[in-house]
Chains A and B, each alone.
Chain A
Amino acid sequence: MQTSALSTENIRKDFPILQRMVRDGKPLVYLDNASTTQKPNQVIDAISDYYKNHNANVHRAVYALAEESTEAYEKTREKISKFLNIKNKEEVIFVRGTTEAINLVAYSWGRQNIKKGDIIVTTEYEHHSNIVPWQLLANEKGAKLEYIGINDNGELILDQLDSYLKTGKVKLVAFSQVSNVLGTISNSEEIIKRCKKAGVKTLVDGAQSVPHMKVDIEKLDCDFFAFSAHKMLGPTGVGVLWVRKEILETMPPFHGGGDMIREVHKYETTWNDLPYKFEAGTPNIADVIGFSAAIDYLSNIGMDAIRQHEIDLTKYALEKMSQVKGITIYGVKDILNRGGVISFNFHDVHPHDVATIIDREGIAVRSGHHCAQVLMERLNVAATNRASFYIYNTKEDVDKLIKSLEKVSELYKL
């Protein structure tokens, strides 16, 4: 039973892990895609092919292998630029992931631009990676960290942004395009428009948006953008930081070392061109090349079809889940403003008990605080369960989830 948007049957054939059994012969139902996605053969093979046939360091030697690896590595940068409608490919910096991308901005741009008394604004539904780097920076500089709150529907209260902007002290607004817990799709263009008007820089955490919907950075018009490969079929350990060129040119280096320099003398060094100035040391070449295959895979399906598939699945799941006795579902009701993420709890049942019970049926969902303890405090819960979908999930997966959730209700007599 597939949604009309995607041919899940064919897609599933590309993912070897989806063929395996868990827990005494139960087929794996993988619903923890907001955490990390599974990898298709195309990505696994690209990495293996690189090591088998092309392995050499990039940007250095002149022999054949080095040329091949450099070309494949740089081609990924071009591919990403095209995928996200980025004009200058030298604005694309390879990092380890979203977390490192945000830390790079905090360390390099932040230390140069944030002063005592300044305000950095983030939101109540951020991942720890978009909170802790700003806490570190604010503490170091004597700046203040403020939060845009959420309403009971799980949406940002933009009036609060306006009051912060009015103080004239805000230097940066950092927010996620899609919440990793509630699935809320932020009104990014509106937030950025208001910040622009006030002369305030914006950082967008795209970890939960880029894998699931079409993102156009040119149109978005933010200043910093971060996302990770492993949440979009790619390998772990690769992510991207995009920074608008005028800003990137003013930023001091993050890490010092090889590849980021033009000339090194005993007491002074000149920096390499962008983006290499921000890519010190031998990069994660093999996984960048694997990421390239992931982008090809997603592009072949088409981001609009992927989004439609997730809308269909999430709608189906929300309808069925709301019938389960004793369940509370968090987040936005309007399916068009919501990604394929559903957080839920059962009356008086701890999320870890829920996860253990449904794991017996081979179903993998996340339980815990999802690296969003500020949001957990706001929702007044210690933890939640979370099911999140991707291109290989089917309505049958949802049916199996529902059946296992009904078992929880029954065991606890809810």
Chain B
Amino acid sequence: MSDPLYTEIIIDEARNASNEGTLENPDISQHDANPMCGDSITLQLNVNDDSISDVKWHGDGCTICKACTSVLTQLIKGKDLDYARNLKKEEILSELGLEYLLKQSPIRIKCALLSLKALKLGLYSFLGKKIEDSASLNNLKEEASKLY
């Protein structure tokens, strides 16, 4: 028995999600929630010389939310902040074969992209204290609010 959304890859990814846990003194800690689904996650990052030295997430979410959060943390761990700033939703979705959600499921896309929204908002707050290029900062916030 199979299902286009609930593939073995996605269920396994959610069940054995990477980087689940809590950082002790995170440089970035961003919470976000999806009231429709009840997804509620916190994404935490440590930053060293503009590079993401560690990342953890915790919270409660549906399979789609957990699987996508897991993939996001794998993608950004060890990368520099610019990579995370420019990370596109398609990159996360394609890892799990979920690009079609963008067109087909306005409800479930919110589950898939909740962690990316948290990442962008977290970076916005973090960088706000460091850089003065307000135009590019505002782009980041704008992007987060228009993800879905």
Contact = CB atoms under 8 A, between A and B. Distances in A.
Interface in A69-98: none
A411 B3 contact: yes
A83 to B, nearest CB: 37
A326 interface: no
Interface in A340-360: 348-353, 356-357, 360
Interface string A18-30: 0000000000000
A352 B38 contact: yes
B3 A357 contact: yes
Nearest to A376: B38
Interface stretch (B22-30, B56-64, B84-92): B56-64
Q: Per DSSP, are chain A's interface residues mostly helix, strand or loop, or mixed?
A: mixed
Contacts of B147: none
Residue among B1, B5, B37, B64 with most chain A CB within 10 A: B37
Contacts of B60: 382
Contacts of B141: none
Interface in B44-95: 60-64
Interface in A380-409: 382-383, 407
Interface string B1-40: 1110110000100010000000000000000000011101
A312 B62 CA distance: 33
B62 A353 contact: yes
B1 A410 contact: yes
A342 to B, nearest CB: 20
A412 interface: yes
Interface string A287-304: 000000000000000000
Nearest to B4: A360
B111 interface: yes
A412 B10 CA distance: 10
A52 B52 CA distance: 68
Interface residues of B, number: 18
A369 interface: yes
Residue among A348, A349, A353, A357 with most chain B CB within 10 A: A353
B63 A353 contact: yes
A413 B60 CA distance: 20
B63 A349 contact: yes
Interface residues of A, number: 18
Contacts of B6: 353, 356-357, 411-412
A368 B38 contact: yes
Interface string B101-115: 000000010010000
Nearest to B66: A350
A360 B111 CA distance: 18
A350 B1 CA distance: 19
Contacts of B2: 411
Contact of A353 (B1, B36, B64): B64
B63 A407 contact: no
A369 B11 CA distance: 23
B37 A350 contact: yes
A352 B11 contact: no
Nearest to B8: A411
A407 B62 contact: no
A22 to B, nearest CB: 15
B38 A360 contact: no
Contact of A412 (B11, B36, B37, B38): B11
Interface of A: 348-353, 356-357, 360, 368-369, 382-383, 407, 410-413
Interface of B: 1-3, 5-6, 11, 15, 36-38, 40, 60-64, 108, 111
27 contacts: A348-B15, A350-B37, A350-B61, A350-B62, A350-B63, A351-B38, A352-B38, A353-B6, A353-B62, A353-B63, A353-B64, A356-B5, A356-B6, A357-B3, A357-B5, A360-B3, A368-B36, A368-B38, A369-B38, A382-B40, A383-B38, A407-B3, A410-B1, A411-B1, A411-B3, A411-B6, A411-B11
Given A411-B6, A412-B11, 13 more contacts: A349-B63, A350-B63, A353-B62, A356-B5, A356-B6, A357-B3, A357-B6, A360-B3, A368-B36, A383-B38, A407-B1, A410-B1, A411-B2
**5 closest A-B pairs (Cβ-Cβ)?**
A350-B62, A353-B63, A382-B38, A352-B62, A352-B37
